[in-house]
Chains A and B, each alone.
Chain A
Amino acid sequence: MVELIAKSACDGLLPKTIGSLTLSEAAPEAITSVTPFRGQEAAVSEALKAQIGAAWPAPNRMTGRAGARVVFSGRGQAFVLGPRIAPIAGAALSDQTDAWASVELSGTGAADALARLVPIDLRPGVFRQGHCARTLIFHMPGLVMHTGQDRYGLMVFRSMARTLVHDLESAMEAIAARG
């Protein structure tokens, strides 16, 4: 059996610090998509609470804490970002751990840099901590999460990792150039 070495999506690209902003890779231990069958949302929420202590999220919201989050990821779908979870009766689960590039943008002005790429209102009073959105990151569909003060988690399909880093770098440079 050949020994294979796992490479993360942003291997060799990150971390990068430009001005006050830092971009680093933030891949969770596992990414599991959870889609409850019709009418099973409440039961699935209970099962998630029992397994990782976080309930089913409302649209544009996430529950739990760093390392064990449940994040709204589409119509009737949420991602569990954290430990691998056991099968849940009443929901379809799929392992997507290697399918996404996950990065974190942090530092003063992080929202200003993102505002150059993301077409939603990112002001901290509107897009608060614990909020998330399936939206566009420049030309890519992605997932934006407000995880902490001046701290944002971003996910796009893994094949777009290099483009994501490039686009974010451009935005970070533009913010740094303004001084």
Chain B
Amino acid sequence: MRITCPICGARDSREFSYRGAALALQRPAPDAGDDAWADYVHLRENPAGDTRELWYHEGGCGAWIVVTRNTVTHEVRSAELAAEVAR
């Protein structure tokens, strides 16, 4: 699998490490309630199709990126800097 780092260009997946669903960018408010927090901490989607994930370009430029990936076709559809997604 190859991921196109927005800074370095297309690189082998071994340069990246996986951090899970790109949910950390939508952290609930501190007073959002137990249900919202339980959902945020424990519950994950398991889609057959496009999924958004956080990857860290550890063996490269050190950027956090949001990768949109298709779990059925294994196609990597896009990669954006997490800093810009969160803005």
On chain B, the residues within 8 Å of A60 by CB distance are: 8-9
- At the interface with chain B, which of A62-70, A101-109, A134-142? A134-142
Chain B interface mostly helix, strand, loop or mixed? loop
Contact with B along A38-71 (1 / 0, CB 8 A): 0000000000000000000001100000000000
Distance in angstroms from A11 CB to nearest chain B CB is: 27
In angstroms, Cα B2 to Cα A3, docked, is 51
Give a binary string over B56-87; 1 marks a CB under 8 Å from any A CB, 0 the rest: 01111111000000000000000000000000
Chain B residue, CB-CB nearest to A140: B59
Contact A59 B14, CB 8 Å, known A136-B59, A141-B58: no
- A135–B15 touching, CB < 8 Å: yes
Starting from the known contacts A77-B62, A119-B14, 15 additional A-B residue pairs (CB-CB under 8 Å) come to: A74-B60, A74-B62, A75-B7, A75-B62, A75-B63, A119-B12, A133-B8, A133-B60, A134-B60, A134-B61, A134-B62, A135-B8, A136-B14, A136-B15, A141-B58
A contacts, CB < 8 Å to B = 59-60, 74-75, 77, 119-120, 133-136, 141
